[in-house]
A = this chain, B = another copy of it.
Amino acid sequence: MLHTPHGSVETPFLCVVGTAGSVKGITPSELRDVGAGVLLANTYHLFLRPGAEVVQQLGGLHRFMGWNGPIVTDSGGFQVFSLGSGLEHGVGKQIGMFPEEGTPRKPRGQAARLVRVDDDGATFTSHIDGSRQRLTPEISIRVQEALGADIALAFDEPTSPLHEASYTRTAMERTHAWARRCLAARTRSDQALYGIVQGGAFVSLREESARLIGALPFDGVAVGGSLGKSKADMHSVLDWTMREVPEAWPRHLLGIGEPEDLLSCAARGVDQFDCVAPTRLGRHGNLYTHAGKLLITRPEFREDARVIEEGCGCYTCRTGFSRGYLRHLFAANELLAYTLASLHNLYFILTLMQRIRDAIRSDALAELTAEFLTRYQPEPAPTEG
């Protein structure tokens, strides 16, 4: 159990991502219905628009979003990375992490960088209006305290899977210095603050980072930055990290949450996940089933009267909406397409998360994993572009 000012939740759990202060196309009431417990909102997005003061003026993030359950805010570090090394290298946390966008991102080189990181913080170009903006550990904490989430994250500098050990070390050491400054800057005792472990996919760096962050007075830990070039790398990074941080700390694996990841990483002691996949995939017509993902926009579904998956308890399947209807809604760009697809995906993934919690309680996670993976076909990793 994790206790927060807005209720207690069983672990492990998956945060549903409400980037800019809403889960795209889904009402809080629908979120409850699909089994959402915790939301994650992005400091970077809310800092730029509408601004932390506005959210505070409107009663804080819970009141703003109409969500009285726990909320996590990230620190803005990852979004700043995405505008910098992420864009330059054409990668996310892991190579090939964006299969739903078709081909992997193209590296765009140094010129594409919209951010400059220095030891004090990061200056970046707003994706909204092109204005120059600055985030530092102190600003990130001030913003997160104003937003008022239950769990805040330290400001960090993630690295990409294409960074060498030397730059990964530089960014890690910066992240450590920033971790101390975040702790010094915090003023709210009703808000948990998690440290972020960096170090890429380098065992010595991850261990060093986990030991250092684990020795600071944080309330939990998050695993950030590069998770290497494969699932095996990600699992190694987790193993190296988990054994070095305090036993009692909740552990958040940032930005990961595909079905196979929930199973394998829960087994490695992850307590918290967050992932835009269920809603983002949904908006692209990519729907979870126990046999793998189904791209509902394909012509073969035109006259398919079946629901997405027989026996599914989500609103979309329960109401009886056919694959043919969903395909039509996507073809016609009807807003309802995004809502119905996202509701299905959220239900699927949150139900799996619940099954994982049940299995852990009855010491049957290995059986659940074996059973699930017998049928489920994760998409093959896209080849490098």
Interface residues of A (CB under 8 A from B): 20-29, 45, 49-50, 54, 57-59, 63-66, 302-303, 305, 315, 319-322, 324-325, 327-329, 331-332, 334-336, 338-340
User: B residues within 8 A CB of A322?
Assistant: 58-59, 63-64
Q: Shortest distance in angstroms between A260's beta carbon and chain B's nearest beta carbon?
A: 28
> Are B338 and A335 in contact, with the CB atoms below 8 A?
yes
Contacting residue for A49 out of B24, B57, B321, B331, CB 8 A? B331
Contacting residue for A329 out of B22, B54, B57, B339, CB 8 A? B22
Assuming A21-B329, A21-B332, A24-B335, what are 19 further A-B pairs, CB within 8 angstroms? A22-B335, A23-B336, A27-B315, A28-B319, A29-B315, A50-B302, A50-B331, A54-B302, A54-B303, A57-B324, A58-B303, A58-B322, A59-B322, A64-B322, A64-B325, A66-B325, A335-B335, A335-B338, A339-B339
Contacting residue for A50 out of B27, B28, B320, B328, CB 8 A? B328
18 CB-based A-B contacts, threshold 8 Å? A20-B328, A20-B332, A21-B325, A21-B328, A24-B335, A26-B336, A27-B315, A27-B336, A27-B339, A28-B319, A50-B327, A54-B303, A58-B303, A58-B322, A63-B320, A64-B324, A66-B319, A335-B338
User: B residues within 8 A CB of A24?
Assistant: 334-336
User: B residues within 8 A CB of A339?
Assistant: 25, 27, 335, 339
User: B residues within 8 A CB of A327?
Assistant: 50
CA distance A63 to B307 in the complex (A): 12
The 8 closest A-B pairs by CB, nearest first: A25-B335, A22-B336, A50-B328, A58-B324, A66-B319, A20-B332, A57-B303, A22-B334
User: B residues within 8 A CB of A50?
Assistant: 302, 324, 327-328, 331
CA distance A45 to B328 in the complex (A): 12
User: B residues within 8 A CB of A25?
Assistant: 25, 335-336, 339
Residue of B nearest to A26 (CB): B336
> Are A328 and B29 in contact, with the CB atoms below 8 A?
no
Q: Shortest distance in angstroms between A345's beta carbon and chain B's nearest beta carbon?
A: 15
User: B residues within 8 A CB of A335?
Assistant: 22, 24-25, 335, 338-339
